[in-house]
Amino acid sequence: MKKITVIGTGYVGLVSGTCFADAGNDVTCCDIDQVKINNLSQGIIPIYEPGLKELVHKNVRSGTLHFSANVPQAILDAEVVYIAVGTPMNSTGEADLTYVKQVAKTIAENLNGYKVIVTKSTVPVGTGRLVEKVIRKYSKDQHPFDVVSNPEFLREGSAIKDTLNMERAVIGATSEKAFQIIAELHQPFTSNIVKASLETAEIIKYAANAFLATKISFINDIANICERVGADVTKVSAGVGLDSRIGNKFLQAGVGFGGSCFPKDTAALLHIAEDCGYDFKLIKAVIETNEKQRVHLVEKLVNSLGELKGKTISVLGLAFKPNTNDIRSSPALDIIPYLAEQGAIVKAYDPIAIVETKKQIGYQCSYTENAYEAIKGSDACMILTDWQDVKNLDLAKVKQLMNQPLIVDGRNLFKLERMQELGFTYLSVGRPAIQ
Ligand code: NAD
């Protein structure tokens, strides 16, 4: 059992802190956001993540999980300090390390004995060494400490499952002692431990995300070719993905990737490459294909509908993927403002991400409580997230409710034959158009 403090109680900090507590450690999750901490202390969970609420409540009740806005005190009390703050993309595409540096300074000022300082945030190569330098600089009593890189691989929407049964833990430590401490913490979750240097661990995280992003852009490029030659990309994915060397995951063509990680981590990796003088052409193309894919979907809509001014368009799905209310870099955040700018009347639906979307784009669209309400009276419907309740729509009812039966599907949710039978104009990604 270890006394662990997790600094930053977002998707990553809250989930890992809760899972460490569930494994029997004494965990304090802290954050500078007092409102978040107040809410958590009252059992209110700020994010939607299946199973998270139950696990937080269970561990708070059993006394292994605590919340605090007093970051210095939480550091003083801990043997292991996890840094899980955000590393957003700055205006040039680099990872912004402001919060990581702030936290490193606070750790230095509250170092009262040996501690293992672990970076869980996704950070560029060299950040572990930077954290080490900042702590040495600001620590008065020069207590011993070790820095570890232990990147996070959870997926939003299945974060608890991904953590409790993680496929691997990557541990880049500066000492054997620190490695052993962090390896032991992971024993309940996995036996696959990748032992690496700080720098190697840091780059593993970017390489993993960049590879997955590459698969998505690759299949989207194939989809765009399929559209030109009359092939069906879903069959191509099946045919290719059954090859065990390739695998079928992240091989679904669509509107492209969004979320808090892939766009920022591919951009950051490009900077890491540039900084060390390497021209990483492949990742540039991955980013470009992804950006174009959103535009391409809107072009399909415009080509079919004509001028958007005065047209009513329903948008189904605001979250960047299902089972999360995270809308960071989600396609909807680009597409809805564009449609509104062109004079379209946009009605948007999402089962859980409306509150977040309102905060970002306000009332550039109206929001509905269910998909049918959004669809009612619309001249076209755009599908941007593959939510289960959108997959389950009664398509005959959808057709009846629409002004014109035009669906532009960025997630390839429906069978072409069925859409043809029902008489829709159905424009999906990498499959023949039904019109
Ligand atoms: P988030 O924005 O949800 O949470 C970050 C939290 O850190 C916020 O609550 C913020 O208030 C807090 N914070 C900022 N500065 C602080 C400070 N000085 N002291 C205390 N708290 C502070 O971010 P997230 O999605 O949890 O991501 C965290 C990191 O993990 C990022 O580097 C991200 O790239 C990485 N990551 C995220 C995911 C994911 O799916 N979200 C997956 C793997 C890795």
| Domain ranges, residue 389 | 231-427
Cβ 320 under 6 angstroms from ligand 1: no
Tally of structural domains, the chain:
2
Same domain, 190 and 248: no
The verdict on residue 266 lying in a domain is yes
Same domain, 289 and 176: no
Q: What pLDDT, on a 0 to 100 scale, did the predictor assign at position 140? A: 87
Six-digit token pair at 102? Answer: 């702030």
The CATH number that applies at residue 264 is 3.40.50.720
pLDDT surpassing 90 at residue 176: yes
pLDDT surpassing 90 at residue 230: yes
Amino acid at 407: I
Active-site residue (options: 19, 30, 226, 261): 261
Q: What pLDDT, on a 0 to 100 scale, did the predictor assign at position 141? A: 83
Same domain, 325 and 403: yes
The verdict on residue 66 lying in a domain is yes
Same domain, 168 and 239: no
The verdict on residue 128 lying in a domain is yes
Region at 332 (left for phi over 0; alpha for psi -120 to 50; beta for the rest): alpha
Burial class (CB in 10 A: 0-12, 13-18, 19+), 304: middle
Chain segment 361-376, per-residue pLDDT in tens: 999 999 999 999 999 9
Q: What pLDDT, on a 0 to 100 scale, did the predictor assign at position 93? A: 86
Cβ 124 under 6 angstroms from ligand 1: no
Question: What is the Cα–Cα distance from 62 to 395, expressed in whole angstroms?
Answer: 47
The verdict on residue 24 lying in a domain is yes
Q: What is the ipTM of this complex?
A: 0.99
pTM: 0.94
pLDDT surpassing 90 at residue 52: yes
Report the pLDDT averaged over residues 317-321.
97
Task: Decide which of 196, 213, 239 is a domain's last residue.
Answer: 196
Same domain, 322 and 376: yes
Q: What pLDDT, on a 0 to 100 scale, did the predictor assign at position 312? A: 98
Chain segment 388-422, per-residue pLDDT in tens: 999 999 999 999 999 999 999 999 999 999 999 99
The verdict on residue 204 lying in a domain is no
The verdict on residue 434 lying in a domain is no
Compute the distance from residue 9 Cα to the ligand 1 centre, in Å. Answer: 7
Same domain, 400 and 345: yes
Is 122 annotated for ligand binding? yes
Compute the distance from residue 27 Cα to the ligand 1 centre, in Å. Answer: 17
The verdict on residue 210 lying in a domain is no
Strand partners, 67: 29
Same domain, 418 and 375: yes
Kindly state the percentage of the chain with pLDDT values over 70: 100
Concerning whether 261 is annotated as a catalytic residue, the answer is yes
Chain center to CA of 375: 27
Q: What pLDDT, on a 0 to 100 scale, did the predictor assign at position 101? A: 98
Which H or E run contains 428? Answer: none
pLDDT surpassing 90 at residue 305: yes
Same domain, 119 and 253: no
Report residue 28's pLDDT band, with 50, 70 and 90 as the boundaries: very high
Same domain, 302 and 156: no
Chain segment 56-95, per-residue pLDDT in tens: 999 999 999 999 999 999 999 999 999 999 999 898 988 9
Same domain, 177 and 249: no
Six-digit token pair at 326? Answer: 């995270």
Question: What is the Cα–Cα distance from 206 to 263, expressed in whole angstroms?
Answer: 11
Cβ 100 under 6 angstroms from ligand 1: no
Q: What pLDDT, on a 0 to 100 scale, did the predictor assign at position 20? A: 98
Q: Are 201 and 182 in contact (CB under 8 A)?
A: no
Task: Decide which of 179, 196, 213 is a domain's last residue.
Answer: 196
Closest C-alpha to 97, from 122, 71, 80, 116: 122
Compute the distance from residue 122 Cα to the ligand 1 centre, in Å. Answer: 9
The verdict on residue 212 lying in a domain is no
Residue nearest to atom 27 of ligand 1 (CA): 86
Same domain, 254 and 177: no
Question: What is the Cα–Cα distance from 297 to 299, expressed in whole angstroms?
Answer: 5
Q: What pLDDT, on a 0 to 100 scale, did the predictor assign at position 257? A: 98
Six-digit token pair at 127? Answer: 């950040």
From 49, 257, 260, 265, the mutation candidate for ligand 1 (largest count of ligand atoms within 8 A of CB) is 260
Same domain, 183 and 100: yes
Report the pLDDT averaged over residues 6-34.
98
